[in-house]
């Protein structure tokens, strides 16, 4: 279908749905670690052969997954259409950018510029970084600032995340002396003894800037981040699972690897941020009520904040409650628990198949300003998340009061 055809179909869908677009579920496989199998699929559906296992679900996503085996549009969401074949979200953004983003926002942004994902691993993730803006640009990618929210689900075997390094390492300039041998020898997981671990607490999370070493725990995690799939891995093994050393150099220019070998990865680390003595206090996220009033039986709280690159809230409705949910611009909605309606569409959390769900929407700019009506028609709380890209909530998003 050509661009005019896509534009016509998306425009008709936007008009019919008053600016609300339901999405198909989008699955991402990984070949480096086993899955936690908490995403709602059948046992057999997690295994995708040479590609590994489905370990992540990306939500209202324009981002392409960067995997060893290239699958066209892996990680990129499709819009469910009322008639005919689904349409790629990136194609809709290209042809209907102003209608989706709003005229002013579309002048500054070509897309949504954020990614929400659920990641679901049986084992703790490896110790790694996401490159800062300048380093990411060297390989033609975006940096990856990110924030976690731990969902109320089985926490897995290791619900604690390692962050940064012990402060004395940077204070005494021991980074290469202590850490480089692990990268050269590339065996075991003892590198984690040089980091500090914090418990994954349901309903809380952490905010993380690019360049900070981290090894996420096994809690089922709803992560909001910049639109990117960049990383360098600095741990050779996880509970017997070997990590290919190519993951260390994954997104470092070949010339830098040739000149410095393993040391090139350490050059991408933000050591000052890794050694923050108040790391926990300066990065922990816990729900913060929004400043605007909400009806009885409804709560809305910031769960991703401390950033203007992205942010988002959790909305909880008691049985029978309804809420005209306002927003300042284009955003996504993900329904986590309960039954109800969103903008007239029936929704159900945690009910998903490979091909379909009733829990995921893109809300256009104009519809966001008018508000989306949410109703809880079930007998348990309805819980959903609203998530935003850069600039939309700059004037209202809270920030952590930084300790130094």
DSSP H or E stretch at residue 385: strand 382-388
Secondary structure E strands in 286-342: 288-289, 298-304, 311-317, 322-325, 331-337, 339-342
Domain 288-388 has CATH 3.90.1150.10: no
Residue 15 burial (CB < 10 Å; 0-12/13-18/19+)?
exposed
Q: Which residues of the chain have pLDDT under 70?
A: none
pLDDT at 328: 98
Farthest-apart Cα atoms in the chain, separation: 64
Residue 234 burial (CB < 10 Å; 0-12/13-18/19+)?
buried
Quote the CA–CA distance of 265 and 250 in Å, as a whole number.
10
**Quick check: do 126-285 and 288-388 share a fold?**
yes
For the chain, the structural domain boundaries read: 126-285, 288-388
The pTM of the whole model exceeds 0.85: yes
For the chain, the first-to-last Cα distance in angstroms comes to 55
Domain 126-285 has CATH 2.60.120.10: yes
Q: What is the pLDDT of residues 3-15, one digit of tens each?
A: 999 999 999 999 9
pLDDT at 1: 86
DSSP H or E stretch at residue 347: strand 345-352
Identify the residue whose tokens are 């929004």: 290
Quote the CA–CA distance of 177 and 256 in Å, as a whole number.
20
* Residue closest to 327 by CA, chosen among 281, 285, 374, 380: 374
Residue 49 burial (CB < 10 Å; 0-12/13-18/19+)?
exposed
- HSE at residue 245, side-chain half, CA atoms within 13 A, is 10
Phi and psi, residue 387, nearest 5°: -135, 140
């Amino acid at each position: 279908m050509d661009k005019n055809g896509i534009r016509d179909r998306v425009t008709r869908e936007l008009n019919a749905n008053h600016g609300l677009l339901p999405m198909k579920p989008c699955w991402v496989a990984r070949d480096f670690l086993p899955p936690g199998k908490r995403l709602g699929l059948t046992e057999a559906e997690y295994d995708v052969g040479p590609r590994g296992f489905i370990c992540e679900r990306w939500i209202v996503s324009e981002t392409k997954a960067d995997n060893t085996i290239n699958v066209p549009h892996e990680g990129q969401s499709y819009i469910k259409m009322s008639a005919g074949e689904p349409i790629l979200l990136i194609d809709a953004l290209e042809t209907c950018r102003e209608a989706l983003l709003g005229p002013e926002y579309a002048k500054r942004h070509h897309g949504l510029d954020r990614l929400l994902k659920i990641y679901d691993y049986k084992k703790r993730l490896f110790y790694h970084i996401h490159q800062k803006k300048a380093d990411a640009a060297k390989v033609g990618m975006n940096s990856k600032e990110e924030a976690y929210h731990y969902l109320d689900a089985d926490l897995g075997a290791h619900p604690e995340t390692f962050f940064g390094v012990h402060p004395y390492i940077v204070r005494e300039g021991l980074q290469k002396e202590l850490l480089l041998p692990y990268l050269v020898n590339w065996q075991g997981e003892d590198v984690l003894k040089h980091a500090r671990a914090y418990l994954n607490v349901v309903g809380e999370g952490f905010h993380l800037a690019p360049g900070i070493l981290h090894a996420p725990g096994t809690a089922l995690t709803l992560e909001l981040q910049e639109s990117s799939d960049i990383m360098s891995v600095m741990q050779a093994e996880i509970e017997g699972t070997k990590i290919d050393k190519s993951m260390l150099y994954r997104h470092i220019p070949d010339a830098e690897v040739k000149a410095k070998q393993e040391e090139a990865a350490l050059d991408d680390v933000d050591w000052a941020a890794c050694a923050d003595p108040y790391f926990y206090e300066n990065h922990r996220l816990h729900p913060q009520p929004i400043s605007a009033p909400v009806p009885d039986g409804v709560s809305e709280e910031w769960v991703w904040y401390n950033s203007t690159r992205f942010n988002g809230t959790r909305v909880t409705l008691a049985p029978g409650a309804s809420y005209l949910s306002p927003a300042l611009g284009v955003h996504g909605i993900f329904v986590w628990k309960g039954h109800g309606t969103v903008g007239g569409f029936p929704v159900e959390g945690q009910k998903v198949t490979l091909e379909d769900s009733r829990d995921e929407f893109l809300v256009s700019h104009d519809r966001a300003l008018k508000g989306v009506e949410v109703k809880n028609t079930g007998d348990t709380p309805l819980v959903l998340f609203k998530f935003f890209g850069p600039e939309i909530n700059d004037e209202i998003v809270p920030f952590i009061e930084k300790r130094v």
